[in-house]
Amino acid sequence: MSGIRLTGDFHRDLEAVQGRIAQVVAAISQAQEQPFEAADESEQVFATISGRGDVIGLEITPKAMRDLDAAGLAAACKEAIDNARLGAAQRMASSVKEVAAFDLEEAPAALDPREAWRKALKESGWNQ
């Protein structure tokens, strides 16, 4: 999907922006409804999370129960949960990129609002 092309007609442009926002919100809502599953590196622990990042399932294989001590099992569980959350976040970013034609990973860092104000004042030539 391409970016919004502004026409100069305020109401038409506002409707286009609102329509795009609605599409982004719908894509995010849809991504949040889909669970995501991932494993730890050894594939002995599997975590399923909701699209909102809540753990909804954790599967520990018998081999993990037998071979890992408590600290190792805790680390494997944490790794599987982190991997699932990362995967869900990447899916969310991909959905937003597809709908909004905006890549969250390549977006420039936000300016400090005070710096943005100073820059706008300087560029406008107002109050000089």
5 within some domain? no
Q: How many CA atoms lie within 13 A of 66 on its CB side?
A: 3
Range of the domain at 112: 35-94+101-124
For residue 111, the domain's CATH number is 3.30.1310.10
Structural domain tally of the chain?
1
What tokens were used for 86? 């990362």
12 within some domain? no
Buried b (16+ CB within 10 A) or exposed e, 9-35: eeeeeeeeeeebeeebeebbeebeeee
User: pLDDT (tens digit, 9 = 90+) per residue, 39-91?
Assistant: 999 999 999 999 888 999 999 999 999 999 999 999 999 999 999 999 998 88
Burial label for 7, CB within 10 Å (0-12, 13-18, 19+), is exposed
pTM > 0.85: no
Which residue is listed with tokens 């600290």? Answer: 71
25 within some domain? no
82 within some domain? yes
User: pLDDT (tens digit, 9 = 90+) per residue, 104-121?
Assistant: 667 677 667 788 778 877
46 within some domain? yes
18 within some domain? no
CA angle 88, 104, 86 (to 5 degrees): 20
